Every structure is written in C-alpha cells, then in structure tokens.
Copies of this chain bind each other. A is one copy, B any other.
Amino acid sequence: MKDKLNIIKIGGNVIDAPKALDRFLSDFAALKGKKILVHGGGKIATEIGKKLGIETKMVEGRRITDAETIDLVTMIYAGLINKKIVAALQSKNCNAIGFSGADGNLIKATKRPVKEIDYGFVGDIEDGSVNTSLISSLLDQDVMPVVCPITHDGNGNILNTNADTIAATLAIAMSKKYETNLFYCFEKNGVLRDVNDDSSFIRELKRETYEDMKGRKQIFEGMIPKLDNSFQTVDKGVHSVYICNAFHLSSLVNNTNPIGTRIS
C-alpha cells in the first residue's frame, strides 16, 4: 500500500490576513503524516511594487512579468512570504523547508514562447521535471516542503508560475509513489449549488454533474479553469482533489464532518 501524502494550496485570501494565516498554519502543522504546502502570492507584492514604482503591466487583461516584476515577486514570494510561513511553521513544531522551483531543481519550467503576447518571465512547467526523489527524501526525514510560485528554466532565469499549476504538477508527480490528495483552498466552502449560500457545497462532484452544471451556467468563469484542472489532475493518477475552505482542511483530512467538494 502506498504511503499517504497531502498537498495543500493556499491563496491570497489566507496569505493577506495575518490572523487567518496563523490559524491555517496551526491546522497545517497539526495534520499528521506527510504533507506539502504550496502558497500563492497575495496583495503584498502589488503594495511593495507600488512603493518601488513597479507598475502592474497588463496586456489584453493578462499580467506581464517583466525583469523588474520577476525580481519583485522573487523577493516577495520566495523571500518574505515563504520565510514567514516557514518560520511560523517551525514555531508550531512542523519542520518546514522553503522551496522555489530552482531550489534542488525542484521544478523546471520553460519561458512561455512569445506569440501575440510576450508574457515576459512566465514559466510553463516542463513535463516530468519534478525532482520527486528530493521531496521523498525530505518527507522521509519529516521535513515538509513549502513551495512558492517561482520556477526556473535551467538557464539561470527565474520564472513566475501559477501556484495552482505548481500544486497540480507536484500532486501528479508524487502520486506515482504516494496516495496523493490535493486540496485547493479558497474563500468558499467548496463548489456551491447556490453561490450565495456557503452551506450549499457539493460533497462530491462527478464529471457528468460538472458538465451539466456548466451547461446550466451554475458554475462560473473563475471556477471553470480550476475545476477543469482538478478533473485532469484526477485523471492523471492523483487519488483525490478537494476544493475547500482553508479552515475546513482538517475536517477533510481527518474525515470528521467533512466540509468541501471532492472532485472525482
């Protein structure tokens, strides 16, 4: 039987609120067994960028990562946010270790090719590039990776990569060795039947139901890539994917009155 591994992704709604982050990190630290935390960016990069005179560049609604922006997000994601999380987890008896994709060659990416838009220093993860043996060796020593949304291309360039994609890539790669559960935490309790009612979350979402809800516009824009991604991740061997609220994580992991949506 495969050992279990839980991979949890948190985003800006948790990272930007110090009390919420602290509460979440206590829950994460208390989870038994092998685990990996993947974190996104949060508003602080934009705030510090403003002070440094680095404007957010958008082309056709897409964010562009130029040279000064990649330096900014490297400082904030791999430096400030990652180390604050790691230090906080250490204080909660969780031996965490911070990672960008460059560290230990954890995740290699390719700079997105310039077509209509030059996205700048944005990386698309290379297939099969996850250094799974390094992660396994750390997990076996009870050292838990905390991964920020920064990768590298192997040519010395640091690249900006979506945290959801990093979490999914890690889950797929690790599922060869571990029974891997992936938890996408966001501000709601799961996929809701009624977007205004947090108690209307669906416990288990199957592809047919999803397609049906999408057809009836019960599932909205932002959720569509998240869910498409989740179904693909399950198809690629990940044991389960959950969409949930960070504060109900323990209920799902420990299966005690679970609140959240399982994608299956």
Contacts and interface: CB of A to CB of B under 8 A. Distances in A.
Chain copies in the assembly?
A: 2
Contact of A141 (B76, B95, B133, B156): B133
A248 to B, nearest CB: 24
A87 interface: yes
Contact of A87 (B79, B83, B91, B156): B156
Contacts of A232: none
Interface stretch (A45-53, A204-212, A218-226): A45-53
B86 A79 contact: no
A253 interface: no
Interface string A54-70: 00000000000000000
Nearest to A151: B87
Given A53-B51, A83-B102, A91 B156 contact: yes
Given A51-B51, A103-B97, A83 B90 contact: no
A79 B157 CA distance: 14
Interface residues of A, number: 42
A230 interface: no
Given A79-B75, A80-B74, A98-B100, A90 B156 contact: yes
Contacts of A52: 48, 51-52
Contact of A98 (B91, B96, B103, B134): B103
Interface of A is mostly: helix
A32 interface: no
Given A52-B48, A53-B51, A80-B79, A86 B102 contact: yes
Given A52-B52, A53-B51, A79 B90 contact: no
A152 B78 contact: no
21 contacts: A52-B52, A74-B79, A74-B80, A75-B75, A77-B79, A78-B78, A78-B79, A79-B80, A83-B100, A83-B103, A83-B158, A86-B100, A86-B152, A87-B156, A90-B105, A91-B154, A91-B156, A95-B104, A97-B104, A98-B98, A104-B138
A4 interface: no
Contact of A154 (B51, B78, B90, B138): B90
A257 to B, nearest CB: 30
A43 interface: no
A45 to B, nearest CB: 10
A76 B90 CA distance: 21
A88 B154 CA distance: 8
Interface string A218-241: 000000000000000000000000
